[in-house]
A and B are shown apart, each in its own frame.
Chain A
């Protein structure tokens, strides 16, 4: 059933006939499940743990479609990953859309389909949602907000575990840096580069769940999104009385990303990712964790990229591939293509 009209109109958000057609013809068709199909004002959800994890995120990315994904896929992965790195098992999400009048229906359908597919892949249920349509110019095409609930099983609450970080602990990443940021930049700016770089956008709950199931010394986990790996490491550095050392040669990098960084003068440590997690764990378990990651779809390029050290507490220092050292500071603004 194709939706008429072919563009979103203000009436699609006003609670009348068009809106109901949109809900049943598009959202329910793709998201259908027993809770959502009730279409009640609130979703009633069974949770059997003493604690739940709850997170929310809004997605305003431009362009909406980029190599490797779109805003819909991103919206699910972002929230699922936030829950996962806290140690929770993601269960339910809400999807809230703010759509600009005139938005093409077929684009909306593609995005909704991605939302649905990603939710199924991650094993989470979309249980409630909302749609608003605003006048042209009042929002940039489409904004999505997702909120997520996850169960926090006993012993999985990772908050505060960073206090047990000690020198010698290793820092692991599950794959290459900067793929998402470069893919989006290529799609957004009219710099006319042709590159096969794809966003790494994916749900990491399966991967993280396995790591937590099979290890006991994970002390810190963060997904490295905006601001890149450097931002996560500086965040950790700010919380512990030790320093962090990163080994430039061990950083996994896609060669297309590497080339784009050289051409434009970017540092991959600061570029956004959407499918990468930084794991800090005891050295003893590092090999085992790496093996686990390597056997998973989203961890094939996993590597130990550094360690916690006694020296330079609070600072993140990079050992360069050429034998030198430099400080990896906090990002002070988006990276921009340089001529200099």
Chain B
């Protein structure tokens, strides 16, 4: 596969790993904030190639893990309404809410359908004029434009039965929040596809205000290793800045068309992140001009107050303050097949990974 296999060549990976070993003197803790990066690091076994001076932290970059309990509970309430079809990405279907999950509700007979593209959900609305289709919008800046595009299509066709329940979030506020909280981070491996949309300006404060390097990385093993090398070099020479490793896809300005669409359809709001609490201006909600597509506005439902599971310390784990072993529920009440908290829900969450290696 072109543009994939070239970046998976073993000799290149090992060569960069050797270079990292050569250059790395001081201890450095690098955080990646993208589920795709966590997956790639795990899938290609990259941690075993790094010297002991370099440690990788997995931040809250998985939209599945950080989808608030209330969001799932709301989706469940919606799927119980007659004549409603819930359209969702596959990632979300097993995420536990306070009492149940969309997968379990689907098994009970409620209409929950997995889509690959938001436009499939729009098509569902066209094909089922007597039903209300509610698309669950999760994901960061990479995915939010797809939701925006779908809403604009629905607007063009004046569809009255297509709605979005948005839990979209944006990256930089949570990165800042973690640094402000005192999590020991020496540099960020920035998400390549988010940045392809947003451009690099969103990370400005991190080197300027906090002295932290940011390297925008691709998703193949060679990309990640090269990005880590770039961060190690920045750290060694004490010259934190923003660099793009993923040059073949990311340019400094980002994707202007996608940015305009986001700007047109969404606005920022304070948002609750599962395990991390409220982070100001970190979520995307539909603008008033698009309220006709906003599920929360058009079809209000009563969502019982979310029950944060007792004993769950995901918040501490997501910040790196505690490890899964510190959690009473780990591997007992909370397992990959019956996850309780965010860190176990997704296959690459910290707890899910620890569970595999215990």
Contact = CB atoms under 8 A, between A and B. Distances in A.
Asked whether any CB of A lies within 8 Å of a CB of B in the complex, the reply is: yes
A337 B138 CA distance: 14
Given A333-B94, A339-B143, A340-B139, A324 B336 contact: no
Contact of A191 (B10, B35, B116, B138): B116
Given A191-B116, A339-B139, A262 B49 contact: no
B93 A322 contact: no
B4 interface: yes
Interface string A323-340: 111110100110011111
B65 to A, nearest CB: 9
A222 B10 CA distance: 32
Contacts of A320: 43-45
B327 interface: no
A327 B47 CA distance: 13
B10 A321 contact: yes
A340 B35 CA distance: 6
Contacts of A34: none
A258 interface: yes
Interface string A296-338: 0000000000000000000000101111111101001100111
Interface in A10-44: none
Contact of B357 (A324, A327, A338): A327
Nearest to A190: B120
Interface residues of B, number: 39
B35 A321 contact: no
Contacts of B337: 332-333
Contact of B36 (A258, A324, A340): A340
A339 B8 contact: no
B260 interface: no
A192 interface: yes
A48 interface: no
B62 A324 contact: no
Contacts of A338: 89-91
A336 B114 contact: yes
A316 to B, nearest CB: 11
Given A258-B1, A323-B13, A340-B346, A192 B120 contact: yes
Top 6 nearest A-B pairs (CB, nearest first) are: A324-B45, A336-B90, A340-B35, A337-B90, A191-B116, A332-B336
